[in-house]
Amino acid sequence: MMGRSVSWTEPEKLAALLASVAPPRPAALVPLVPAMGAMRAAGGARARTAAVTPPAPAPPAPKKVTPRLVQTSDNPSDRLDALVGWTLDHQPCTGAFVADDNGLTLAAHGISEAHVALVGPLLSALVAVRAIPGIDASRGALWLGTNMMSWVETRTERGGFCLGAVGREALSIEALDELRDALDTTVRGL
């Protein structure tokens, strides 16, 4: 008479039989190559993560440092030429000039004397503007028709001097500050 066969209804006995004939199983299988599905799932997760996480801000572009103008000559012509050269080298412009407050050209490159001469009426017109409290009006920009002329003005005991730069766009406030410093440095020795 045969004993009762092992059946699905007796799982404990089945497990005991299997354990007696089979080698012990490793605690966990570590696949050397992940399944493609797993890869897709992981990739999707990464993609979702990337879509949700805001992009890291790009490192700020290094700030352009404009070297200060250093005047090495006592000669007015050399000082003015150095100022115009420095402006052309370090500011986004195609022409530069120095004029007195009557619009007389002291030094210029890349701009006609006729254009420089408009400094005279321009600065005269600004006298009334400066009478308004709180308005400085010692720097600005003027659309010439094809180019923008940016200028700064400084005053000395001998009158006013104007440094202008002509280019496609008006210069920034920082650039105008640099021009003003350079103009002050130059005309102090005139």
Partner 1 sequence: MIDTKILDAAVSDLRNILRDGLVATDIWDRTAGLSLAGYNQQPVAVALFTRITQELESSLVDSSFPPLARYYLLDMEGNHTAVVVNHGTLLQGMLVDNKRANLGILIAVAIPRMLESVARAKLR
For residue 124, state whether it binds partner 1 (rule: CB under 8 A). Answer: no
For residue 80, state whether it binds partner 1 (rule: CB under 8 A). Answer: yes
Min. distance of Cβ 113 from partner 1 in angstroms? 9
Binding mask 25-64 for partner 1 (x = CB under 8 A): ----------------------------------------
CB closer to partner 1, 43 vs 159: 159
For residue 105, state whether it binds partner 1 (rule: CB under 8 A). Answer: yes
Which of 167, 183, 168, 163 is CA-nearest to residue 123?
Answer: 163
The answer to whether 91 and 64 are in contact (CB under 8 A) is no
For residue 107, state whether it binds partner 1 (rule: CB under 8 A). Answer: yes
The answer to whether 91 and 175 are in contact (CB under 8 A) is yes
With contacts defined by CB under 8 A, how many residues of the chain interact with partner 1?
A: 15
- Using a 10 angstrom Cβ sphere, with 0-12 exposed, 13-18 middle and 19 or more buried, the burial of residue 138 is middle
Task: Determine the interface stretch with partner 1 among 7-15, 32-40, 43-51, 153-161 (rule: CB under 8 A).
Answer: 153-161
Min. distance of Cβ 174 from partner 1 in angstroms? 28
CB closer to partner 1, 86 vs 97: 97
Please count the CA atoms within 13 angstroms of the CA of 37 that sit on its side-chain side: 0
| Candidate residues 66, 71, 100, 141; the one interacting with partner 1 per rule CB under 8 A | 100
Residues 190, 186: Cα–Cα separation, whole Å: 7
Kindly give, in sequence order, each residue whose CB lies less than 8 Å from that of residue 103, ignoring residues fewer than 6 positions away.
Answer: 116, 117, 118, 119, 120, 121, 123
